[in-house]
Amino acid sequence: MDAISVIRTKRDRGELSGEQIDWVIDAYTRGTVADEQMSSLAMAILLNGMNRTEIARWTAAMIASGERMSFDSLSRPTADKHSTGGVGDKITLPLAPLVAACGAAVPQLSGRGLGHTGGTLDKLESIPGWRALLSNEEMLSVLDSTGAVICAAGDGLAPADKKLYALRDVTGTVEAIPLIASSIMSKKIAEGTGSLVLDVKVGSGAFMKNLEDARELASTMVALGTDSGVRTVALLTDMSTPLGLTAGNALEVRESVEVLAGGGPADVVELTLALAREMLTAAGLPDADPAKALADGSAMDVWRRMISAQGGDPDAELPVARERHIVTAPASGVLTRLDAYDIGLAAWRLGAGRARKEDPVQAGAGVELHAKPGDTVTAGQPLLTLHTDTPEKFDYALEPLSTAFDIAPAGTAFTQGPIVLDRIS
């Protein structure tokens, strides 16, 4: 095998053979295929696509590049969830302990934020003492004792994907749906979960901007999971407006605890329960009632045990940013639009996110929302509060907010669309 012949096959719209795929993934992981050659192949895949057979083999080759985990020793069925990323998407935080409280085990391998989308690990690291990095043995121990664990994927899990993702990020090939699907699913399948629910975000604050692309991605990932023996279903969910009333690390943890305490924003509660029901059904527990587990405090109990088991103090005060700036409503009327991307960009510029993976984040930075689309607002009332430790960032963060919302005259009819747009199984 040689890299040039593999590149030419896909460049000329041909189908890569299983042998070509196995060889190129292995050779790239070992360093015998150069970055410039793999970036050329990734661009050819972006432009010409892959069929289901190719994507399945590509995913299998990335899984084979590292270790595979197993949860066979657990007495509970396993269920995991993956979100493609959004703004204010704190759902994993209340969801994992909620599903565990209903009888499933939740091995949640999560990531960090990059750009305008937040990262679950960054949010949880705002809790004093909490650790994201666990060994496989520690992960299994926390999962066995509490029913849920949220942690970073180890270096041994699909190392080919880690290397390829970094390359795609700097070569303009992140958008290739076959590579997105195989990147997500290689880690989830290698993780060893028995069932998986995918939350594929759609809208301005999501990676997939329209339903057609989201359906293609969701269908591809569901097929990959199913073909690998993982019970997989996907929900397409709206990300045109931020989820909840916060976008930022400690801000979102605080809101998640409110949900676990039986309160919290209605949209966060609705989506958390919808995903919980899908996870429990996929895990073979369709009769479990996640709404009851929220109401009776059992989900909160699991949360506290899970945070403590990973070194965190569930009673500790969360970080608060030193500086605030309030954005007021410029007119009275009905708020008809609050753009997720613009809010996420502002939160990122305030210090809640990072431009590069090695950049630090501010735990207390972010944006707090005081109204959502459909609410009536009055000129001069607080619409958004910006939080940061570095007030010199306020002007930079305010730029995208100048076009982030629309206010229509009082009495304007407004209909809120559904959060769950479609289901793929």
| Residues 304 and 361 both lie in one domain | no
Encoded tokens for 361: 């984040």
Residue 171 resides in a domain: no
* 372 catalytic per annotation: no
Quote the pLDDT of residue 401: 97
| Residues 218 and 363 both lie in one domain | no
Catalytic hit among 40, 83, 183, 195: 183
Residue 414 resides in a domain: no
Residue 368 resides in a domain: yes
| Residues 134 and 269 both lie in one domain | yes
Cβ neighbour number for residue 4 with a 10 Å cutoff: 11
Q: How many domains does the chain have?
A: 3
Tell me the residue range of the domain where 13 lies: 3-49
Quote the pLDDT of residue 113: 80
| Residues 348 and 253 both lie in one domain | no
* 161 catalytic per annotation: yes
* 188 catalytic per annotation: no
Residue 238 resides in a domain: yes
| Residues 303 and 328 both lie in one domain | no
Catalytic hit among 57, 81, 82, 231: 82
> Domain holding 19: CATH number?
1.20.970.10
In sequence order, which residues have a C-beta less than 8 Å from that of residue 359 and are 6 or more positions away? Answer: none
340 CA to centre of own chain: 15
Rounded Cα distance, 120 and 399, in Å = 26
Residue 184 resides in a domain: no
Rounded Cα distance, 239 and 203, in Å = 5
| Residues 292 and 239 both lie in one domain | yes
Phi, psi of 275 (to 5 degrees): -70, -35
Catalytic hit among 163, 168, 349, 387: 168
pTM over 0.85: yes
* 90 catalytic per annotation: no
Catalytic hit among 161, 267, 339, 342: 161
Quote the pLDDT of residue 357: 67
Residue-wise pLDDT tens for the chain (425 aa)?
A: 899 999 999 999 999 999 999 999 999 999 999 999 999 999 999 999 999 999 999 999 999 999 999 999 999 999 999 999 999 999 999 999 999 999 999 999 998 887 788 899 999 999 999 999 999 999 999 999 999 999 998 888 899 998 998 888 788 888 899 999 999 999 999 999 999 999 999 999 998 999 999 999 999 999 999 999 999 999 999 999 999 999 999 999 999 999 999 999 999 999 999 999 999 999 999 999 999 999 999 999 999 999 999 999 999 999 999 999 999 999 999 999 999 999 999 999 999 988 776 778 999 999 999 999 999 999 999 999 999 999 999 999 999 999 999 999 999 999 999 999 999 99
DSSP letter for each residue of 32-87:
SS-HHHHHHHHHHHHHH---HHHHHHHHHHHHHTS-----TT-SS-B-EEEE---S
Q: Are 414 and 374 in contact (CB under 8 A)?
A: yes
Residue 224 resides in a domain: yes
Q: Are strands 231-238 and 323-328 parallel, antiparallel or unpaired?
A: unpaired
| Residues 137 and 249 both lie in one domain | yes
Q: Which position has the token pair 């919290």?
A: 264
Residue 328 resides in a domain: yes
| Residues 294 and 364 both lie in one domain | no
| Residues 296 and 373 both lie in one domain | no
> Domain holding 378: CATH number?
3.90.1170.30
* 135 catalytic per annotation: no
> Domain holding 285: CATH number?
3.40.1030.10
Residue 142 resides in a domain: yes
Q: Are strands 231-238 and 80-83 parallel, antiparallel or unpaired?
A: unpaired
What region does 26 belong to: left with phi over 0, alpha with psi -120 to 50, or beta?
alpha
| Residues 275 and 377 both lie in one domain | no
| Residues 137 and 238 both lie in one domain | yes
| Residues 197 and 118 both lie in one domain | yes
